Structure 1
Amino acid sequence: MKSLLFGLALLLPGVALAEPIETRKIITALTGDFNGDGAPDLAMVVETGPTDPMDIHFFLGDNEHHYLKPVEIVREQIGGEWNGYDQPGYENSDAEPELTMLPNGSIKFYLPAPEIGSERTNQTLIIAYRNGAFIVAGFAYDSDDYLQENAASACDYNVLTGKGTSSKQQPDGSTKHKTVSAEGRTIAFREWNAGDAFAACQE
């Protein structure tokens, strides 16, 4: 959902966009201080096509010149579904990404699973701005299969340290917990591969 502050930011003189963006393709946006300099920053999730992964546009506020500077576009890293945004009478999808600003300046990306098939896996990414780049600091998922009993699993781990926890339901209905211990890594958001994260959770 577009915030009032975001709407005002787009109207301010001097706001520069890295490339033209159709406003109807802006799925969601978030303002906050991503780099800790006291200036408001902006992140936007932008639809590329009705069935394609989405782009994320990042802007950092310039305290001296009072404008939003485009700093990075992360291509096709956010899955989701936007039903017929370019058609009359469209309805919002239940699989739109959600952005939340965390107290430490990081951004929480919640990616709900599309309502396709019986197995649903929701993902969460924690994105932080470090040393001039947006990186993936954390990853989590929760999964279940609505046609199977005792099929739930989950994981939450710190990508930077490689430490976390995972859980998986057993056939008898109990839940087995284990510690995730992988190699800590610093991964740029644009280079993120969710498959590596799932593998780390299941080792």
Structure 2
Amino acid sequence: MTTALHHAVWLIALAAMPAPGLAYDKPAFELALDIDQDGTMDRAVVMQNDDGRADLYIYLATGEEKLDPSRKPDFVKKALTEDRILDLESKGEGSLAITSCFGCGASKSTEDTLIVVYRNRSFLVGGYSRNWDWNIQKSDGTVETTIGDCDINYLTGKATASRDLDDGKPVKGRFKPVPLNDWSYEKRPRICSF
């Protein structure tokens, strides 16, 4: 009984302690890649904050080094998303894919992938894809399901979208790269909403 009481006291004490700031304590995700395609590895770091926001930090020419908390990043995008980050991945040709989810497999869930590229000395959104599976319980006991996806390649200007179980169809119009500083999930194209 005393051991259980000790554990309970420790758990309460730990829960009452202020949480350390996440700004460099431990990245949620970290990836070395050559995002600016200059032959030297760079580093992308995502920090998931206590409030759920995910911030992106990019350090040029530091991919081979250990992350130094005192070094100022070359690029910062605060509040990149409020969803949970699932993965960072290099997609070749300097492309960084950042995948996040809301609900993450629950009855109401979405998954987003943002492709970040470096072109003409600027960080841009080069692509964006989203899929959703949204189930709403109605008052009569039935469930209304909305399924769909979108895929936009801002570099080629082309996009596809689908609803329900249909195959993706080309979307009319041209899509241009968006400066990463200007990007927000609230500004995503209408074809990616449901």
Q: With the length of structure 2 as denominator, give the TM-score of the two structures.
A: 0.71
After TM superposition, give the deviation of residue 189 of structure 1 in Å: 1.0
In structure 2, C-alpha distance between the alignment counterparts of 1:200 and 1:146, rounded to whole Å: 19
2:78 pairs with one of 75, 79, 97: 75
Runs (5+) with no aligned partner, structure 2 = 1-21, 63-67, 137-142
Rg (Cα) greater in structure:
2
In structure 2, C-alpha distance between the alignment counterparts of 1:166 and 1:32, rounded to whole Å: 30
Identity of aligned residues (%): 25
Show the counterpart of 1:35: 36
Aligned residues: 161
Query: Could you tell me whether the CA contact under 8 Å between 1:33 and 1:105 is conserved in 2?
Result: yes
Deviation sequence 1:92-128 (CA, Å, 0-9, x none): xxx3331001121100111122359732111011110
Query: Could you tell me whether the CA contact under 8 Å between 2:45 and 2:56 is conserved in 1?
Result: yes
Show the counterpart of 1:182: 173
Q: Which amino acid aligns with 2:30?
A: A
When residues 79 and 163 of structure 1 are mapped into structure 2, their CA distance, relative to the original with a 3 A threshold, is same
Q: Secondary structure at the match of 2:186?
A: helix
Cα RMSD over matched residues?
2.9
Q: How does 1:1-203 map to 2 (within 5 A)?
A: 21-24=23-26, 26-47=27-48, 49-61=49-61, 70-80=73-83, 95-115=84-104, 118-147=107-136, 148=143, 151-169=146-164, 175=166, 177-201=168-192
Q: Secondary structure at the match of 2:61?
A: strand
Query: Could you tell me whether the CA contact under 8 Å between 1:54 and 1:77 is conserved in 2?
Result: yes
Q: With the length of structure 1 as denominator, give the TM-score of the two structures.
A: 0.68
When residues 117 and 51 of structure 1 are mapped into structure 2, their CA distance, relative to the original with a 3 A threshold, is farther
Runs (5+) with no aligned partner, structure 1 = 1-19, 81-94
Q: Which amino acid aligns with 1:118?
A: S
Deviation sequence 1:57-86 (CA, Å, 0-9, x none): 101107xxxx98731111111333xxxxxx
After TM superposition, give the deviation of residue 190 of structure 1 in Å: 1.7
Query: Could you tell me whether the CA contact under 8 Å between 2:55 and 2:78 is conserved in 1?
Result: yes
Q: Secondary structure at the match of 1:151?
A: strand
